[in-house]
Amino acid sequence: MKVKVAQASTIVEGKNSCVKLQDRKILLIRHKGKIHALENRCPHVGLPLEKGKVEDGVITCPWHGSSFDVATGANKDWVNSLLGMSVPKWTAKMITLGKSPQPVRTYAVEIQGDDVMVELD
């Protein structure tokens, strides 16, 4: 099921946008002109990703530093900091809470005119 979630012209490079849809929060990120949709929920402990910094197509979670490819959701790095401050490896290991690296969920995006359509299951 495709659902309109935003106007494409309002999704700008360098500014993450979060839309709430029923019980989901979807993060829209424009990178190199293309709009990507991710679940606004870090797979580490479920905190929101929307304040994360995006660089070279990778978003970094602002809470504990895990990072994800905005196009595929693939995990690039897993828990390495606390609120932007680096922590020693043993501390990072404790912060993982025993969770293994996981990808963030992504959604297929289609642009129709100025409408951003997201494929929901």
User: Could you say whether residue 3 binds ligand FES (CB under 6 A)?
Assistant: no
Angle at the Cα of 36 from the Cα atoms of 33 and 40, rounded to 5 degrees: 140
Stretch that binds ligand FES, among 31-39, 43-51, 82-90, 111-119 (CB under 6 A): 43-51
User: Could you say whether residue 42 binds ligand FES (CB under 6 A)?
Assistant: yes
Backbone φ, ψ for residue 48 (5° rounding):
-70, 145
CB-based burial, 32-52: b 16+ in 10 Å, e otherwise: eeebbbbbbbbbbeeebbbeb
Q: How many Cβ atoms are within 10 Å of 111's Cβ, its own excluded?
A: 12
User: Could you say whether residue 45 binds ligand FES (CB under 6 A)?
Assistant: yes
User: Could you say whether residue 82 binds ligand FES (CB under 6 A)?
Assistant: no
User: Could you say whether residue 63 binds ligand FES (CB under 6 A)?
Assistant: yes
**Could you list the residues that contact ligand FES (CB under 6 A)?**
42, 44-45, 47, 61, 63-64, 66, 79
